[in-house]
Amino acid sequence: MYIPKHFAEPRVDALHQLIRARPLATLVTLASNGLNANHIPLHLSPEPSPFGTLRGHVARANPIWKDIANDVEALAIFHGPDAYVTPSWYPTKAETGRVVPTWNYAVAHAYGTLRVVDDPAWLRAHLEALVAHNESALPEPWHIEDAPSDYVEKLLGAIVGIEIVVTRLSGKWKTSQNQSAENRAGVIHGLRASGASEANDMAALIEGSNPTR
């Protein structure tokens, strides 16, 4: 991933926060017929330090767990908020006209060797952690024990676990850091007034990022 210095996000805690908030990863692996991409929710554990471990599961029918190059890193891509930025939001448009549209976004890339785990006990523990994380904010959280045990056991037999100990972690926050303070303020105002999906999330990222000038 091309990361200009002013768009780099090196803070592990910020990258972990994005991964936990947006756990649906694009998991890229190398298979016998070339690159393969799957879209899988991955649960982040903070250990081992500093980057942690990603755990997930796939259908047993999914060839990813059988057809993978063991000597090649897997890449999990996590997408944060994104938003189109019109130059009409820049006050400098009226002054010079020397502005163009762009697209703001935040992403985290996690690299590591993919390990297959075909173990019912591991899978049960993984699913319990995954469910607890995603259900915790709901008024009536669902628990695995709410489903019939024979039904759960049948489903456990139909999936296989995957695990990636993260060895490299990089992030790119393209959040108008290369714009002047007045243009950044204009983008924040425009996003919040637009009502577009994720606009408020992107506005908050712009407020929290460090401008380059």
Residues in contact with 6: Cβ distance below 8 Å, sequence separation at least 6, in sequence order: 177, 178, 212
Cα–Cα distance for residue pair 158/201, rounded to 1 Å: 37
Instruction: Tell me what pLDDT residue 162 has.
Output: 97
Q: How confident is the model at residue 212 (pLDDT cuts 50, 70, 90)?
A: low
Rounded Cα gap, residues 149 and 205, in angstroms: 43
Mean pLDDT of 7-23: 96
pLDDT of 26 over the 90 cut = yes
Per-residue pLDDT tens for 101-135?
999 999 999 999 999 999 999 999 999 999 999 99
Class of domain 5-86+96-179: mainly beta
Provide the pLDDT confidence category of residue 95 given band limits of 50, 70 and 90: confident
Which pLDDT value is given to residue 213? 46
SS3 labels along the chain: CCCCHHHECCCHHHHHHHHHHCCEEEEEEEECCEEEEEEEECEEECCCCCCCEEEEEEECCCHHHCCCCCCCCEEEEEEEEEEEECHHHCCHHHHCCCCCCEEEEEEEEEEECEEEECCHHHHHHHHHHHHHHHHCCCCCCCCHHHCCHHHHHHHHCCEEEEEEECCEEEEEEECCCCCCHHHHHHHHHHHHHHCCCCHHHHHHHHHHCCCCC
pLDDT digit string (tens) for 36-85? 999 999 999 999 999 999 999 999 999 999 999 888 999 999 999 999 99
Q: CA 158: distance to chain centroid?
A: 26
Q: 75 with 68: CB under 8 angstroms?
A: no
Instruction: Quote the percentage of the chain above a pLDDT of 90.
Output: 90
Residue 122 main-chain phi, psi, to 5 deg? -60, -45
For position 93, what pLDDT does the model report?
82
* pLDDT at 179 > cutoff 70: yes
Backbone angles phi, psi at 192, to 5 degrees: -70, -30
Give the residue carrying structure tokens 């899978």.
Answer: 123
